[in-house]
Amino acid sequence: MKFAHIADVHIGAYYDETLAELSSKAFEYTIGKCVEEKVDFIIVSGDLFHVSIPDLGAVDKAVKQMRRAKDAGIPIYVVYGSHDYSPSGKSIIDILDSSGLVTKIVKGRIEDNKLRLEFITDEKTNAKITGISARKKGLESKYYEILDRDALEREEEFKIFSFHSGIEEFKPRELTPVECIPISYLPKGFDYYAGGHIHDRSENTLPGYKNVIFPGPIFSGYPRDLEKNAKGAERGFYIVTYNDNTIKHKFIPIKVCESTYYEYDATGKNSNQVKNEFQKNIGEIDANKKIVLLKVKGKLAGGRTSEIDFSEMKNLLYSNGAIYVNVNRYGFTSSEYTDVKVSGEDVNLIESKLFRENIGSVKLEQDKLLGKKGISLAQNLLKTTRLNPKINESKKNYDARQVDDGITTLELKEVM
Partner 1 sequence: MSEIEVAAQVIGGKVANIRLREKTGRKIELGDLLIVEEDDGSGLLLQVYDLEFGSQIPQSMRELAAGYTLEGYGSNLDFLDPKLRNYIVAVVRGIARINGSKVTIPKILPRFFSTVRDIREEDLKFLTKPEHPIYLGKVRSGSKVLDVDVFLNGVDMFTHHVLIPATTGRGKSNLVKVMLWSAVGKKFGILVLDAHNEYYGIGNDLGLKDHPDAKDNIVYYSTNPPPGANTLVTNLKSVKPWHFEGIIRFTDAQREAIQLYYDRFKERWLEQLVQETPSDSDEISAKTIAVIQRRLKTNLGLYFEEDRGLICKNKAFNDKAGEATISNIIQSLESGKIVIVDTSQLSDKAELLIGSIIGHGVFFRYQEYKGVGELDNKPVVSIIIEEAPRVLSMETLENTGENIYDIIAREGRKFKVGLVAITQLTSVIPTTVLSNLNTKIILGNEMSSERKAIISSSPQDLSNDNRTIASLDKGEAIVSSIFTNFAVPVQIPLFEEFVKSYNINSKKTGDTFFTG
Residue positions annotated with a catalytic role: 83
341 contributes a contact to partner 1 by CB under 8 A: no
Toward partner 1, which CB reaches closer, 60 or 203?
Answer: 203
User: String of b and e for 246-277 (b: at least 16 CB within 10 Å)?
Assistant: eeebebbebebbebbbbebebeebebeebbee
Between 258 and 287, how does the x/- string for binding to partner 1 read (CB under 8 A)? ------------------------------
77 contributes a contact to partner 1 by CB under 8 A: no
108 contributes a contact to partner 1 by CB under 8 A: yes
Total residues in contact with partner 1, by rule CB under 8 A? 38
Residue choice 27, 29, 161, 170 for contact with partner 1 (CB under 8 A): 170
Toward partner 1, which CB reaches closer, 202 or 358?
Answer: 202
Toward partner 1, which CB reaches closer, 85 or 310?
Answer: 85
Residue choice 99, 121, 205, 392 for contact with partner 1 (CB under 8 A): 205
204 contributes a contact to partner 1 by CB under 8 A: yes
Residue choice 67, 90, 107, 372 for contact with partner 1 (CB under 8 A): 107
Residue choice 10, 50, 83, 104 for contact with partner 1 (CB under 8 A): 104
Residue choice 171, 249, 356, 395 for contact with partner 1 (CB under 8 A): 171
Q: Which residues bind partner 1 (CB under 8 A)?
A: 79-80, 89, 104-110, 113, 115, 133, 142-147, 149, 168-173, 175-177, 182-185, 202, 204-207
